[in-house]
Structure 1
């Protein structure tokens, strides 16, 4: 039996700027389940209804998850949507670079944390991070993206470090909470695409 796209699926895909003619078997298999309606509402809320994030910031955070999860259709869509909200090419490029750097750091520092041997703790990583010095998006938002990617990748040490840093750069806990809510919902969405 071939699943068909419900109005909810079509609406969700359209709102995300995704091609409605492409098959999304996992998403379509939900039919018109309550979860699908919840997902559509959750995605809409995290991208459009944050009190402590601008729409552009929400879309750039969503972009970081799409890049991290290597889901090109959403990477393209969130890039376009963020640019419609005023994101520059330099800001988009910085989110891509930040996501790549944090994916690297998350693996390295998660290993250090898991093993916790003196040699690994004392040896310099040798990973260049010059992008962190003068980010186009500003230190606070760069740290917020770093925190968000670290949360998606499950690096406890990185999450703690970036949460502390983003607060020191002026973010509120409410802003951090909303950022994590954005990336959580987008990560969940991607599992069905």
Structure 2
């Protein structure tokens, strides 16, 4: 067995998958004995810790991004990890709901931003957003998840709005940066483990 295969098996076991699980992407990395698998494993592992976020927050952020990206293995992993870190069923449901709500908002507000037409800013959005009003995870953390999902979905207007809200709420730039870092690494892992 090669070192690459060993690292792939460690990554798979870390995500709760059988060490023999293979996607087409994993098989290609393994066949080419890619050095990237070491980075992938270390990057994935780094989504679970932060100097600026609690382990529970890391898990809920990972869950929201995994749901946003429709990644079943990572959704299962981050759900379990979040539960192990003390997340309640309501907090887990909110992370899932955040991914869905922000998916619609990101499409809608990207459209408004892309067209740059005043008329579209005058027409009511008619998108229900009660989830944002009194989040069980707290306003600041819900904004942080919203920013992370918006960054993954590429909505510039949404990223700027959520980042501005977070700064006004007193969130540090380091905390914001870590949330987006985690979102990027969960997305990267999901390109290989799916």
Taking structure 2 as the reference length, what is the TM-score of the superposition? 0.93
Instruction: Give 1:35's aligned residue.
Output: 36
How far, CA to CA, are the matches of 2:151 and 2:130 in structure 1? 22
Q: Any idea what SS the aligned residue of 1:30 has? A: helix
Residue equivalent to 1:160: 160
Residue equivalent to 2:46: 45
CA distance in 2 between partners of 1:138 and 1:19 (Å): 36
Please report how far the alpha carbon of residue 75 of structure 1 lies from its aligned counterpart in structure 2 after TM superposition.
Answer: 0.7
Q: How far off its partner does 1:19 sit?
A: 3.0
Aligned pairs (5 A) from 1:1-193 = 6-31=5-30, 32-48=33-49, 50-193=50-193
Structure 2 alignment gaps of length 5 or more: none
Count of aligned residue pairs for this structure pair: 190
Please say if residues 102 and 150 of structure 2, whose CA atoms lie closer than 8 Å, have aligned partners that are also in contact.
yes
Offset at 1:20?
Answer: 2.7
Q: Deviations over 1:26-61 (max 9, x none)?
A: 02321242211011111112213x100111111111
Query: Is the CA contact (8 Å cut-off) linking 2:52 and 2:178 kept in structure 1?
Result: yes
Q: Distance in 2 between matches of 1:107 and 1:77?
A: 27
**Alpha-carbon distance between aligned partners in 2 of 1:122 and 1:21, rounded to the nearest angstrom:** 54
TM score, norm. by length of structure 1: 0.94
Quote the RMSD (CA, aligned, Å).
1.6
Q: Structure 1 stretches of 5 or more lacking a match?
A: none
The question of whether the paired residues in 2 share the 8 Å contact of 1:6 and 1:28 is answered with: no
